[in-house]
Amino acid sequence: MTTFRDVTLRDGLQLSGAVLPVDHKVALARALLGAGVPEVEIGSLANADLVPQMAGTLEVVAALTQEELSHCWVWVATPRHVRAALDAGARNLQYCLSVSDAHNQANLRRDTQTSLSALPEATELVKSVGGRIQLCVATSFSCPFDGPVDPDRVLAIANDPRAIGSDDIVLCDTLGQAVPAEVSALVGRVRAESPERRIVFHGHDTWGQGVANACAAVAAGAEMLDGALGGLGGCPFAPGAGGNTAIEDLLFGFRPGWFDPSVLALLVDAQEELMAALNETNRSRTSEAARRTPPVFAWAVGRPG
């Protein structure tokens, strides 16, 4: 069974020109959860001096209830990040590192092995409070500095003893350059050749392959897909990266049981409000079509007001 996570409040906001206030972030998290989105990424503990859009993440965590936080994820990259997030009340942490040393240096100011060496401490901290931790593997397919990434390097990280204890592994097409055959091959190898755990596919739609890649990932064994409202997002440390695959497009294509026209209408409204606040442009084909499709089609949303 495929589940879905909205990453608007982390990856979606990273390249926006505006900083969303904490109360708007909290309201959006609640709107997404209220619409039925199973899991939501609510922010990052990245240095706010470098990524100002992530300022206020701990305040967002503190504002949410424990029930809400049980469905929410926070991006971290060090044990120090983990302690701060746990102290604020978070229980689901996404520990990120890059396959590519060049991107890890640009993003985290350290090499990949240093990040991997700190993972056991991070895992122990999360498990001590009954939380969940994901190993998020950025640049699983290509690096903006070094080019194509050897799949064997991804498998080496997936099988590293220091990664034992992670509940999930997130395979990231950080640049959105992968094609379905590559996604299918890598997800299939991670499924067959590494410890059993949930595989998450995190795709970007830079080259228009976001939904196709998601389909390939699920067919190969991925159980969770990431997406952002309106296809918003990208990595500030990955030149050439486009926005995330739009979560509206993923949901419309996969049609999980909880997703119906009323939920789509809620997401379209939330997306439009967010894009107006950020002065950004919607990239979701589903949201666009839902507004202009005649009402004879059940998924038509109609014009606001």
Q: What is the pLDDT of residue 104?
A: 85
Task: List b or e across 11-38, with b for residues whose CB sees 16 or more CB atoms inside 10 angstroms.
Answer: bbbbbbeebbebebbbebbebbbebbbe
Q: What integer pLDDT is reported at residue 218 of this predicted model?
A: 98
CA distance 103 to 175: 11
The pLDDT value recorded for residue 295 is 87
Q: Where are the domains of the chain?
A: 3-259
Based on the residue annotation, tell me whether 143 is a catalytic residue of this protein. no
- 3-259: CATH superfamily: Aldolase class I (3.20.20.70)
DSSP 269-293: HHHHHHHHHHT-----HHHHHHHHS
CA distances from 245 to 42, 137, 145, 227, 232 (A): 17, 17, 22, 5, 8
Q: What is the DSSP string of 71-88?
A: TEEEEE-SHHHHHHHHHH
Look at the block and give the residue holding tokens 């064997």.
Answer: 152
Predicted TM-score (pTM) of the model is: 0.96
Per-residue pLDDT 10s for the chain (305 aa) are 899 999 999 999 998 888 999 999 999 999 999 999 999 999 999 888 888 999 999 999 999 999 999 999 999 999 999 999 999 999 999 999 999 999 989 888 899 999 999 999 999 999 999 999 999 999 999 999 999 999 999 999 999 999 999 999 999 999 999 999 999 999 999 999 999 999 999 999 999 999 999 999 999 999 999 999 999 997 776 777 779 999 999 999 999 999 999 999 999 999 999 999 999 999 999 999 999 988 889 999 977 65
How does 228-265 read in b/e, with b if 16+ C-beta sit within 10 Å?
Answer: bbbbbbbbebbeebbbbbbbbbbbbebebeebeeebbb
- Options 72, 96, 172, 235, the catalytic residue: 235
- At residue 304, the pLDDT reads 67
pLDDT at residue 236 in the model: 73
